[in-house]
Amino acid sequence: MVVSSLSLLMLATLPYATWAIPAVHFIAARAVSVSTPLGTAQGTLDVDGANRFAVRYANSTRWAPSAVVTEWNLPNGSDDPTALPLQCPQINVDPSTYSEDCLSMILYVPVNLTADSPASTLVWIHGGSFDSGSATFPGLDGSNLAVATDSIVAVIQYRLGALGLLIPNGSTNYAVEDVINALKFLGQVLPSFGGDASMITLAGQSSGAGMIRTLLAAPSASSLFRSAILQSDPMDYGFLSLDTQAQLQSTFNYLVSCSASDTACQMALTLDEILNAQVTLENEADDLFPSTGQGEPLHPVLDGQLVTTPLDSTAPFPAVSKPLLLTNVHNEAGPTIYNLVFPGPDPIPAVEFEPVVDASLGANRTAIVMSSPFYPVDPNGDARVPLQVLGTDYIWRCPTWTLARNWVANGGSAFVGMYTVGATYPLNADIPYCLEDGVVCHQDDIYIVFGTAPDPTPAQSTLTAEMQTRYKAFIATGNPNVPGLDPWLPATTSDVYAKEFGVETTPNGEVPIRACTPSFWGEAVQYDYQFFDI
């Protein structure tokens, strides 16, 4: 049997919680308040010059649909406007830092905004493989970004793992509906903060970008935002099929020993019991249901009701109109190859390349990869070098470029980019490969976008200024081009014009197509969503 491509390469949105990174601590200053249709919003001045408001945006009980709140309340029943929301339940973090009452967001509002000058809003959706992460994780203080872009920045949370995506009665996509309710909440309150509810841009990294792709495939969400920024979306996964979701759900119900209809049993489960069953399922999912993969076995479902199109190459592409920014980093697969698959400092013999690819892709796809010119193997070199390039192309870069071509062919606009400068994210700090000059690993774009890199180098500061300037233009106009910066050409069906951001490695600053030609990945070699007929 062919093992899922993620069983060894496991090129995924790496779970934040695995490393138990502590939440960011913010410095509070003076209290502020704003009158909204839902009541008085209490907040505080953030250290970087924006007013910060934490708020519960929706209510829900365990494994029930969420509903938008009707009153403004601080998260977790707090009466302290400087308090930050607890995370949603997840593994490998202190239980005192999470709660099932976690449908909260943090608004960052520049102090000079008024209701007389409506501003755009950037809604950030965190990553973490849909089973970890939060609005308070490293680098996600949106104050600097809000001030730099003259916009409101909202960083949101949504139910994770089994609590958001494994509903015992067979319902699906509750985590997606949580995000939709966050957008509905913002639609009600943004004008009170000087925002224009019709000018919302979604942005997210890794599985956060995957969540945005899900919303792009959900017609009922279309009116809630007007543009989107997808950073490092592992698009190779596609969505889960209803059949695979049903098998995952049945297995989970067995693991917690609760039937689909036994709500008393479900409500009596402890969070430890739920999380332990979730981990067992995630560890076994790839062997039981190969289309899920190990890196992100729980993710949104193509249910035909909320999510109505795969938004990939397996079905007719819908008509679209929203502008997109689609970016990757230069070495997306670095943390996986150099830390998870082959940890340690020693090189891996070149002869290991083909067996790893074969175990991941199966014989037919491996034969095509091995005979192609795209992944040369130095007989005396380190097998991790071509594996990293292969993983980056296969899971992230090439499916992103395929989406860009499909998007513009069906009415939308797309701007494609690649980070060649980054700022090391905490999860990568102990991976020697990710600290090498010129290497930009998965998640190393987060600090750049938010302007939160500790002690930034001149190159990092320059890139942060450029990307925040481009984001400011994009969220206001749908176009990231501004006077004084090099042109960023929009993608076409024949050339995505992927622009390098940071250090130009080619004369014109355009990323070479290489294996991302339409005739290779997605045609000669199928993506997983094609191979498994998701």
Encoding tokens for residue 297? 């076995």
Contact, 53 vs 107, CB < 8 A?
A: yes
- DSSP symbols for 309-364: ---STTSPPPP---EEEEEEETBTTHHIIIIIIS-SSS--BGGGHHHHHHHHH-HH
DSSP conformation letters of 196-253: EEEEEEEEEETHHHHHHHHHHT-GGGGGG-SEEEEES--GGG--B-HHHHHHHHHHHH
Catalytic residue among 120, 206, 227, 291: 206
Q: Which residues contact 84 (CB under 8 A, 6 or more apart)?
A: 23, 26, 54, 75, 106, 135, 136
DSSP 140-156: ---HHHHHHHTSEEEEE
60 is catalytic: no
Cross-strand partners of 525? 521
Beta-carbon count within 10 A of 80 CB: 11
Label residue 222 exposed, middle or buried (CB < 10 Å: 0-12, 13-18, 19+). middle
Rounded Cα–Cα distance for residues 307 and 4 (Å) = 24
Q: Which residues contact 61 (CB under 8 A, 6 or more apart)?
A: none
Give the count of beta carbons closer than 10 Å to the beta carbon of residue 297.
Answer: 28
Q: How far apart are CA 523 and CA 475, in angstroms?
A: 34
What are the residue numbers of the active site? 206
